[in-house]
Structures are given as C-alpha cells and as structure tokens.
Amino acid sequence: MHIEVICTGDEVLTGKVVNTNFSYISQKLEDFGLSVSWETTVGDDRDSLLLAFQLAGQRADAVIVNGGLGPTVDDLSQETAARAAGVDLVLNEAWFAAMESFFQRRSRVMPPNNRKQAMLPAGAEMIDNPIGTACGFALDIGKARFFFTPGVPRELRRMLEEQIVPRLLVTSGGQTAVHLKRFHSYGIGESHADALLSGVEALVTDGSVKLGFRAHYPQLETKLTARGRDIAEIRGKLAPSEQEVRKRFGNFIFAEDDDTLEGVILAALTSINATLTVVETFTSGQIAARIAHLPGAERVFRQGIVARDLGVVQAAVGLEAADPVGAITIEAATAIARAARRSTGATHALAVLIDVDEGADRIEFAGNVCLAIATERDAVSRRSRVVGGRDWVRLGAVELGLDCLRRYLQGLPVNERIDFEKT
C-alpha cells in the first residue's frame, strides 16, 4: 500500500516549527508494518494545498493530511479537500453539537468562528476527536483515501492510533498481524546498542523480526517488530529475541512497553509503603516533576527541595551550620540526602547536586553530578561528569538521578558506567 503524508501550515513550511508530527506519524505507521512513501509540506495557501492533494491522490492509496483544521482564516484543509473532491462543504450536525457540548462542559460560549470546524466536505466520514474541537475526516480524492488530522500533537496522536491506523490496517488487506515489543534503557548509546544486539534479528530464521532503535536522549527505545498469522504465533517467535535483548542489555533496561522510568520507581516505592524526598540543584525541580504529579504519587512523594545555592540546600534540610558540606562531593550529597530524609520524615531521599561549568553555553559545557540515595538503613552514592551543553547536562542529570534510584530499589549496582559520561 502506497501511503503519503501531507503536512500543512506556514509554521512548518517556514521552519519555525520543526516537523515532529511527521516523524511521529511515520514512526507510528512503521510500528504497525506500514510505510510512508512520500511526504509533502505546503503552507496555508489554497493553490499549493489543492495541487498537493491532487498529486497525492494520483499516486497514493492512502494519504494522511496533518493540520489546517482550526477555526481561523488560515485553516484551509476542509475547504481545499472539498474543492479537490469536487463537492460542497456541509455542516456536520453531530460534530457541531459535540463542539457545543465541549464548550459547555468548560463553561465557555462557543465563538461563532468555531462553526467552520464542523463544515465538512459532502460525503466525508467524520472522525471523532475526543479531546479537541477539530474533528478529523476521511474522503476520497483521486484514487486515494485521505485522512485529515488536527495539527495539535496530542489530538493527532490519539486520532492516529485509535482511528486511522485501524482503518489503514483494514484497507491494507488480509494482512498479517504485527506486534511491537519495546525496551526502554538508559546509559547505552544507539551505536553501542546496535553493536550489542548484533545477531538478535537472526534468532528468528524466517526474517519476520525486525530490530529498530529510537534515541530520545537520554533514553533509548529498542524495538522488535514481528509479523505473523496471529498474536500467539508472534509472541512465540519473539520470545527468544526478547530474552536475548534482556540478557545483553542487563541492568540498563529500566522498563518495557508502555512502562516508564518514573512509573517503575513509583510502583517500587508504593509496594514497600515507602515515601520519597528529592533534593535538586541545577535540575531545578525536573526530577520532582517527573514523579510527584503521577496518580498515586500523593501517597509516596513527600517533599521536593530545589535550590541553586548549596548553603540554601543545607539550611532547607536542617543541616546545622556546624556541619557545612562545603563543596559538591558525593560525601556532601550523602549528608544532604540523609538530612533531607530525616527532616522530612521520608523513608527514602534522593539528592542530586550539580556543579556546572562557568561561562557561556557550548557543546563542551559540562557538569559534575554528585548524587546520593539515603534510607534509614544505608546510603549509596555516585559521581559522574555529564557533557553536551546546559540542557543536556540537566536532562542527563535528571535521568541519572532517577535511574540510580530505580537501580537502588531493584537491588542493582548504581555505579555501572554509562556511555554518556566522561570519566
């Protein structure tokens, strides 16, 4: 099946916004064994949109159009779709009512220009958007089935997964089942991972298992995609490859499939009735922000303390002036974690202190991370130097702190060397 994607909007065409919606769509289709053959980006311009629709309609079996469904004058997708299909726009009463109720539930009056969002090409199939005012729709243009999706990423994602992928899978025919197994790791770079897993695909001799990676620093997602008659057959095929990935990655896998690092930590703490206090400096609340808002965290997350000044950190955790920790060291991190645990009455405390380089941001900009985890029983600590500029140091330190806590809770060593540190 020849699938094309058309991305619309001046923001994307002028490069003001990096087109992550496209990479999301393409990756998601790959996950289901479907491939995008051609992508076109055009601006909010009637002639370009029309031509893009016509050309894709000549080449493709299915086309996903992203963006241009908003209420404003520069949102032209419905109008141009109708023109390309040679039909009129008609009010979709069902969606109009859904929008009115959407605004009512928020105690807002629907502005008149939102009506435009319920005007669909005659004959189009409306596609529900449960979290926004832009409904999607499907329509034939040329020889292709077009699927129109909203530009707001979370609305696109939900519509793509719940509504469009299933339709594409039906269209693509009595196709085999596809299953995607995902491993999430921290500390192994993509090329290292690729080398580590050499030969894993070949464990399934019929060539139906495909290995892929997606690096979103600092995490790495490793994907095994398998095809087969049904899910039972696929699971059977995947089992040896899965085992091998787990064996070769070892302690570096922190979660699988839809689980997350913070979710694994929260579950581990919950299961032992533990409570957590977090002390941060340069990560400035990002560690707490990964855990404290999760459902169930209200029973686990005790307190987060953020400060840029070490003296303020010490005072906040109740360290006496007589015990100044001085510089950022693993001893200081341990003292602070212990004091934070005591002063907030938590069972566990994580302290992540960072000494960042002086001067302007640059690719060599680095930070020395000293972190410690304390419980009533013991304390562990780790030191690391993370490079790559201010943002990467911050992101890296957040992940290192969380992953060390995960390792501690799982009884694994916190000091295993990672690819992202300078030693």
CB of 394 to a copy of itself, least distance (A): 6
- Name the residue among 224, 64, 42 with its Cα closest to residue 160: 64
User: Mapping DSSP to helix (H, G, I), strand (E, B) and coil, where does residue 182 land?
Assistant: strand
For a copy of itself, give the closer residue by CB, 165 or 380: 165
Task: Give min distance, CB of 408 to a copy of itself, in A.
Answer: 21
Angle at 26 between CA 23 and CA 28, to 5 degrees: 105
295 to 354, contacts with a copy of itself by CB under 8 A? 295, 297-298, 301-309, 312, 316, 344
- 205 vs 423 by CB, closer to a copy of itself: 423
For residue 261, the number of C-alpha atoms closer than 13 Å in the C-beta half-sphere is: 27
**Angle, CA 22 vertex, CA 18 and CA 26 arms, to 5°:** 145
Q: Comparing C-alpha atoms, which of 108, 115, 73 is closest to residue 91?
A: 115
Segment 201 to 240, residues that bind a copy of itself, using CB under 8 A: 212-215, 217
> Is 263 a residue that touches a copy of itself (CB under 8 A)?
no
Stretch that binds a copy of itself, among 31-39, 82-90, 135-143, 246-254 (CB under 8 A): 31-39
Strand 36-42, strand 3-8: pairing: parallel
Phi, psi angle pair for 195, to nearest 5°: -65, -45
Residue 331 one-letter amino acid: E
77 sits near a copy of itself (criterion: CB under 8 A): no
Q: Which is nearer to a copy of itself, 14 or 205 (CB)?
A: 14
Cα separation, 239 vs 236, in Å, equals 5
11 binds a copy of itself (CB under 8 A): yes
| Smallest gap from residue 274 Cβ to a copy of itself (A) | 15
Q: Report whether 103 contacts 90 (CB < 8 A).
A: no
Using the minimum distance from each CB to a copy of itself, give the nearer residue, 87 or 267. 267
Residue among 205, 271, 273, 423 that touches a copy of itself (CB under 8 A) = 423
The stretches of 119-223 forming alpha helices (DSSP H) are: 153-159, 165-171, 190-196
Q: How far apart are CA 238 and CA 225, in angstroms?
A: 8
Of 140-148, 230-238, 357-365, 369-377, which part binds a copy of itself (CB under 8 A)?
357-365
Q: Which helix (H) or strand (E) holds 344?
A: helix 330-344
Given a contact cutoff of 8 angstroms between Cβ atoms, the answer to whether 333 and 353 are in contact is yes
Which residues face 222 on adjacent strands? 183, 213
Among 64, 226, 234, 287, binds a copy of itself (CB under 8 A): 287
The overall longest dimension of the chain from CA atoms, in Å, is: 82
Q: Does 171 sit near a copy of itself (CB under 8 A)?
A: no
Should residue 415 be labelled a site residue for a copy of itself when binding is judged by CB under 8 A? no
Closer to a copy of itself by Cβ: residue 131 or 231: 131
CB of 29 to a copy of itself, least distance (A): 8
Nearer to a copy of itself, 41 or 334 (CB): 41
3-state DSSP helix/strand/coil percent for the chain, to nearest 5?
A: 40, 25, 35
Contact between 181 and a copy of itself per CB under 8 A? no
Residue 360 C-beta: closest distance to a copy of itself, Å: 8
175 binds a copy of itself (CB under 8 A): no
State the Cα–Cα distance between residues 259 and 248, nearest whole angstrom. Answer: 20
* Closest to 33 (Cα-Cα) out of 162, 138, 172, 147: 172
Q: How far is the CB of 223 from a copy of itself (least distance, A)?
A: 8
**Cβ nearer to a copy of itself, comparing 112 with 411:** 112
Instruction: Choose one: 32-40, 160-168, 232-240, 244-252; the region binding a copy of itself (CB under 8 A).
Output: 32-40
Kindly identify the residues of this chain, within the stretch 104-133, that bind a copy of itself according to CB under 8 A: 105-108, 111-114, 130-131
**Residue number with CB closer to a copy of itself (291 or 404):** 291
